[in-house]
Amino acid sequence: MKILWAPWRIKYILQEKPKGCIFCIKSKESKDEENLILYRAKYNFVMLNLYPYNNGHLLIAPYRHVPSIEQLNSDELKEMMLLAKACLLVLRDVMKPDGFNLGFNIGRVAGAGIEEHVHMHIVPRWNGDTNFMPVIGDTKVIPEALKDTYKKLRSRKDIIDNILKEM
């Protein structure tokens, strides 16, 4: 496997890892920029994935700690879907992707890294983003720092505000 230089990751690697649910911990803290939380709604919040598949990889999670969408109530689900709609609009406006993957990994066997707290993934996709680097070089390139992506997406929070008026 090829190694790409990513010096910003050493801070995470060396820091003490929190005990407990990362979504619950981060949602209760008031350090939104540090925690990459882009938006806080009434029932859910949106954050950048610390380990993105692609630039702009977002997570939408309810504040309530439940393992699957069938435990969410109608208001939580409705708001989550409106946030997904709004996030697509923000990502289209700021990053101009060619498409998206949206989904949930429910249960360890389905690929859930954090199976005790349900969350939706929104992954922007571009033509050629699955190119020779991951296939032949066994290397994935994320070309923009998370803080830079955060600032760009956060600058369009007005789009999310407007969509949530539909609640």
CB of 4 closer than 8 Å to CB of 139: yes
Residue 119 designated active-site: yes
Q: How far is residue 60's CA from residue 74's CA, in Å, rounded to a whole number?
A: 16
Identify the active-site residue in 57, 65, 117, 119: 119
Q: How far is residue 137's CA from residue 135's CA, in Å, rounded to a whole number?
A: 6
Q: How many CB atoms lie within 10 A of CB 69?
A: 15
Sheet holding 37-40, edge to edge: 37-40, 44-48, 58-62, 120-125, 99-104
Q: How far is residue 22's CA from residue 116's CA, in Å, rounded to a whole number?
A: 10
List residues with catalytic annotation: 119
